[in-house]
């Protein structure tokens, strides 16, 4: 059996071949993106000149520790490429992201980039989004009312689902870098991700959701047979 971490590293290594000197990069969050930052740091140590915007405090700490130069979207509002992982990828390159809890910053950074390259192993490919619980970032104020409104939207969009308030391993409520909470929706299958995304944005109290629609320009999918590039690099 192929080591999943080896596949993630293969995808990250392939993505690195598209990074050029002088680029402004969005640095993703999660286990696959962590491999990319590790490999990027090796290239930086060898002389590659880039600057990165991290999508989480975890990625910021990793990049700083490894010597990858960082900036902010205030200083550098337009990026060349964001390279990030995904929890699910459908045939149209729509994504579910947010398993690591960084969906808000990940979406802001991806939207500020000319291209978004998604890196993943083959297990993340699906015919329809929804098997992975959809993260929905919410404000703590009025949580009960917000949860009720989200449940109505899910039902109206054909994917009624139980909502679970995300907690850490120690049982405490998970709090995002922005100070919000996350409700995970076990949809199983989302018939129309575009419709659901728009309807969720209309709910007061919803800060952001993990449906990344039309943001990824290509995906690099690693399997035991190699790393396949899907879409336009």
Catalytic center residues: 106
Residue 85 marked as a ligand binder: yes
Residue 84 marked as a ligand binder: yes
Residue 227 marked as a ligand binder: no
Residue 76 marked as a ligand binder: no
The answer to whether the CB of 129 falls within 8 A of the CB of 168 is no
Question: Measured between alpha carbons, how far is 219 from 126 in angstroms, rounded to an integer?
Answer: 13
Which residues lie below 8 Å from residue 188, measured CB to CB, with a gap of 6+?
130, 131, 159, 161
Residue 99 marked as a ligand binder: yes
Place of tokens 């919000």: 180
Residue 30 marked as a ligand binder: yes
Residue 197 marked as a ligand binder: no
17 by Cβ neighbours in 10 Å (0-12 / 13-18 / 19+) ranks as exposed
Question: Measured between alpha carbons, how far is 83 from 185 in angstroms, rounded to an integer?
Answer: 25
List the binding residues for substrate: 29-32, 84-87, 97-100, 124
List the binding residues: 29-32, 84-87, 97-100, 124
């Amino acid at each position: 059996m192929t080591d999943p971490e080896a596949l993630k590293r293969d995808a990250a290594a392939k993505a690195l071949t598209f990074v050029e000197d002088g680029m402004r990069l969005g640095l993703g969050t999660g286990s696959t993106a962590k491999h990319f930052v590790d490999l990027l740091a090796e290239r930086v140590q060898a002389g590659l000149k880039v600057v990165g915007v991290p999508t989480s405090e975890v990625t910021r700490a990793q990049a700083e520790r490894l010597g990858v130069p960082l900036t902010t979207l205030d200083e550098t509002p337009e990026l060349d490429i964001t390279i990030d992982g995904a929890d699910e990828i459908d045939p149209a390159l729509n994504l579910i992201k947010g398993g690591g809890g960084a969906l808000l910053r990940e979406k802001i950074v991806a939207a500020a980039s000319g291209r978004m390259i998604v890196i993943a192993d083959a297990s993340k490919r699906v015919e329809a989004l929804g098997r992975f619980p959809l993260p929905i970032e919410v404000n703590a104020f009025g949580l009960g009312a917000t949860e009720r409104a989200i449940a109505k939207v899910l039902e109206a969009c054909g994917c009624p689902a139980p909502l679970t308030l995300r907690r850490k391993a120690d049982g405490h409520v998970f709090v995002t870098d922005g100070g919000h909470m996350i409700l995970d929706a076990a949809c199983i299958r989302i018939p129309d991700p575009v419709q659901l995304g728009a309807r969720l944005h209309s709910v007061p109290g919803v800060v952001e959701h993990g449906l990344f629609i039309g943001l990824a320009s290509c995906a690099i999918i690693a399997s035991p047979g190699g790393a396949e590039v899907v879409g336009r690099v």
